Structure 1
Amino acid sequence: MANRINLRPTSPLVSGLLLFGIFLSILIIYNISSVKNENPSRSPFRAIRNGLQDILNADPDDGKKEGATESKIQQQDHCILNRKFMPKGSMPLILLLSFPGSGNTWVRYLLERSSGIYTGSVFNDVGTGNDDNAIFRASEVCSKTTLVVKAHSLNVKKCHIDGAIILVRNPYSAILAEFNRQSSDKTSNAPISAFKSEAWKNFAIEASSNWSRKIGTQLEKIPNRMILYYENLVQDTNFELHRMLEFLKVTPDENRIRCLFENVTGSFKRKHRKRDFNPYSSEMNDTIDSEILKLRKIMKEYGYILPPYESYMTLK
């Protein structure tokens, strides 16, 4: 007589263990997937793919006087994030160095709102003052009361500089933004005719030389430094912000950071206005690319990898 298969129901304990095992497996798979999605490569190349469109479709605010951007910030800041100056002489003098048009104002804003400590500037910026409504509060550069001090060069009075965050942006984008700032009012870009002038050509060529030379000098003169690529900051703002706070030896306040991102960060995801022309001629491309290659060699000597910025103008 054939053996009969025992079909008695499994005990409740065994069934519960099986269900728990299935649930645990699903949870592990989901978490692995989330980690992969939330932690993209930290390579400086990761934000390069759409570089040409970043240049040709640049938002008008990218080239405005800083006051225009700061007004937009103020309107969208719904967090009550108090800031303060630290006691005089209690902070290291850390410069926030950048070529004009590289996003220095945005970085200052992120640092202030996330840390609760004011930043300073060597310039008399629009939006800076001593009243509570000012976007950035005025301060004495050498007082060592602020988290960082905005500057475009190392000519900072006779202060002892303790370190720097060096903000590097694709020169094609930065040069265009700065030319727009200098050539337009607060509500519009420079007219198309301006980009057909000899002044634009001379400006771009001279600016590209200044871009590579100044960053190279900053690398040489400041051993205590952090390199921050603007494109990476746009791509993964939270990660790069935490990296800056770590460099500045500031313990992140996750509640402040969460509020900052919920209320403000979206205003920086610019809606690009499409351009139907390329402001850079082949001659200008050759000159700017040569400056990029020059800086790449310098940065390699210091252990940094400059993104392939010259490929911006060859991408289709």
Structure 2
Amino acid sequence: MLCWKKRPRRSILTVITCAVTYVGVVNLLAFYSMIRSYDSPVSWIQHYGHMFIQRTGTNNWTCKGLRYSTIPLPPTALVSFPGSGNTWLRHVIQQATGVATGSTYTDAALKRDGFPGEGQTNGSVIVVKTHSWGKEERARYVRAVLLIRDPFQALLAEFNRRHGGHKGHAPTEHFEKNWYDYILGTAGEWYDLYHDWMTFDGPVHVIMYGDLRSNPSAELDRLMKFLGVTLTHKEKFCVLSNYEGNHKRRGKPVSDVYTDYMTYLIKNYKQKLTTELSHFLNKSTIRIS
């Protein structure tokens, strides 16, 4: 009788143990297979990235220890009109390469906020931020990355930076006082900058801000290939998990700030650059976003 009673207990315990083990092994194999064979790290991160972020305890970790290159790197301009996401792209590049990005400017706030290469323009940094153009500026570099954002968005972002800081928004009274003159004096500079850099003699890599947002995996691959950097699956996963960083503007922006005349003026510049870009890139259609 005693043996008869013990035997079912052992059988039930064995069944439960086997079931738990089976479920655990299947899940581990599925997890491993997903990591090794996913085609789009973006879709993987969209589904599972939040869990990863919770486990790290922060949204702004560092994928690689940031350093200066000990081997002189080719001087590479990271060109953009102010307000086009230059700081954000520098964050992505630093996450992917582990090498500091430089700048022709020295911004103390950015230097404190994860960009130690502010003010550095030599071969120790992987790219150099610049908002300048002209023959002398182009002559400083052997290759260039052009980051282009829709002028309506870029002009507004830059105005907010000037009057609200890197992460704030300009107060309403500043729009009432300064906005009109700012647009008249600055909208043409958006076009002039990119028009000038399309005459650059060295290799040029063009990134549309909208594509960087909507298709980060493909844009990261293209950019790293241009910079001569190879990423492992694990490294790419980390970069895309921490893609946004901690550099987004906070709060609700002022909207409906463009008058009919401003819209007409900016659309003309945008169309003109779109046409030139299509010839420059040998593409029939270009969408600046």
Q: Same fold (TM over 0.5)?
A: yes
Q: Assess if the C-alpha contact under 8 Å between 2:73 and 2:123 holds in 1.
A: yes
Alignment counterpart, residue 220 of structure 1, candidates 196, 199, 207: 199
Q: 2:101 is matched with which residue?
A: 119
Whether 1:149 and 2:131 are equivalent positions in the alignment is no
Q: Assess if the C-alpha contact under 8 Å between 1:208 and 1:288 holds in 2.
A: yes
Q: 1:165 is matched with which residue?
A: 145
The aligned amino acid for 2:85 is: G
The aligned amino acid for 1:137 is: P
Q: 2:277 is matched with which residue?
A: 299
**Higher relative contact order, chain-length normalized (CA < 8 Å, sep 6+):** 1
Aligned-partner SS, 1:220: coil
The CA deviation string for residues 222-246 of structure 1, in whole angstroms up to 9 with x for no partner, is 4410110001101112221111100
Whether 1:290 and 2:273 are equivalent positions in the alignment is no
**Distance change in 2, residues 1:307/1:134 (3 Å):** closer
The aligned amino acid for 1:297 is: T
Whether 1:108 and 2:90 are equivalent positions in the alignment is yes
Q: 1:200 is matched with which residue?
A: 179
The aligned amino acid for 2:203 is: N
Task: Return the alpha-carbon distance in structure 2 between the equivalents of residues 269 and 187 of structure 1.
Answer: 6
Q: Assess if the C-alpha contact under 8 Å between 2:88 and 2:244 holds in 1.
A: no
Give the number of the structure whose residues are more often helix, by fraction: 2
> How far has the Cα of 1:145 moved from its partner?
1.5
Aligned-partner SS, 2:206: strand
The CA deviation string for residues 155-182 of structure 1, in whole angstroms up to 9 with x for no partner, is 6779641110000000000000111111
Whether 1:260 and 2:255 are equivalent positions in the alignment is no
Aligned-partner SS, 1:167: strand
**Distance change in 2, residues 1:106/1:220 (3 Å):** same
The aligned amino acid for 2:127 is: V
Q: 2:210 is matched with which residue?
A: 231
**Distance change in 2, residues 1:270/1:136 (3 Å):** closer
Aligned-partner SS, 2:278: helix
Task: Return the alpha-carbon distance in structure 2 between the equivalents of residues 233 and 308 of structure 1.
Answer: 12
Q: Assess if the C-alpha contact under 8 Å between 1:163 and 1:224 holds in 2.
A: yes
Task: Return the alpha-carbon distance in structure 2 between the equivalents of residues 158 and 264 of structure 1.
Answer: 29
Task: Return the alpha-carbon distance in structure 1 between the equivalents of residues 188 and 272 of structure 2.
Answer: 10
Aligned-partner SS, 2:266: helix
Which runs of 5 or more residues in structure 1 are unaligned? 1-33, 40-74, 310-316
Q: Assess if the C-alpha contact under 8 Å between 2:277 and 2:286 holds in 1.
A: yes
Q: 2:114 is matched with which residue?
A: 135
The aligned amino acid for 2:64 is: L
Q: Assess if the C-alpha contact under 8 Å between 1:93 and 1:163 holds in 2.
A: yes
Q: 2:157 is matched with which residue?
A: 177
Task: Return the alpha-carbon distance in structure 2 between the equivalents of residues 227 and 164 of structure 1.
Answer: 9
Q: 1:87 is matched with which residue?
A: 70
**Distance change in 2, residues 1:82/1:233 (3 Å):** same
Aligned-partner SS, 2:256: coil
Q: 2:223 is matched with which residue?
A: 244
Alignment counterpart, residue 99 of structure 1, candidates 55, 78, 81: 81
Q: Assess if the C-alpha contact under 8 Å between 1:164 and 1:222 holds in 2.
A: no
Q: 2:10 is matched with which residue?
A: none
The aligned amino acid for 2:148 is: V
The aligned amino acid for 2:208 is: Y
The CA deviation string for residues 70-116 of structure 1, in whole angstroms up to 9 with x for no partner, is xxxxx63234521221225x211111000000000110111111111
Q: Aligned pairs, how many?
A: 235
Which runs of 5 or more residues in structure 2 are unaligned? 1-37, 44-57
Task: Return the alpha-carbon distance in structure 2 between the equivalents of residues 270 and 128 of structure 1.
Answer: 14
**Distance change in 2, residues 1:121/1:253 (3 Å):** farther
Q: Assess if the C-alpha contact under 8 Å between 2:75 and 2:140 holds in 1.
A: yes
Task: Return the alpha-carbon distance in structure 2 between the equivalents of residues 280 and 306 of structure 1.
Answer: 24
The aligned amino acid for 1:92 is: P
Aligned-partner SS, 2:199: helix
> How far has the Cα of 1:255 moved from its partner?
2.0
TM-score computed with the length of structure 2 as normaliser: 0.71
Task: Return the alpha-carbon distance in structure 2 between the equivalents of residues 152 and 246 of structure 1.
Answer: 23
Task: Return the alpha-carbon distance in structure 2 between the equivalents of residues 209 and 164 of structure 1.
Answer: 21
The CA deviation string for residues 166-212 of structure 1, in whole angstroms up to 9 with x for no partner, is 00000000000111111225664222233233x31121122220001
TM-score computed with the length of structure 1 as normaliser: 0.65
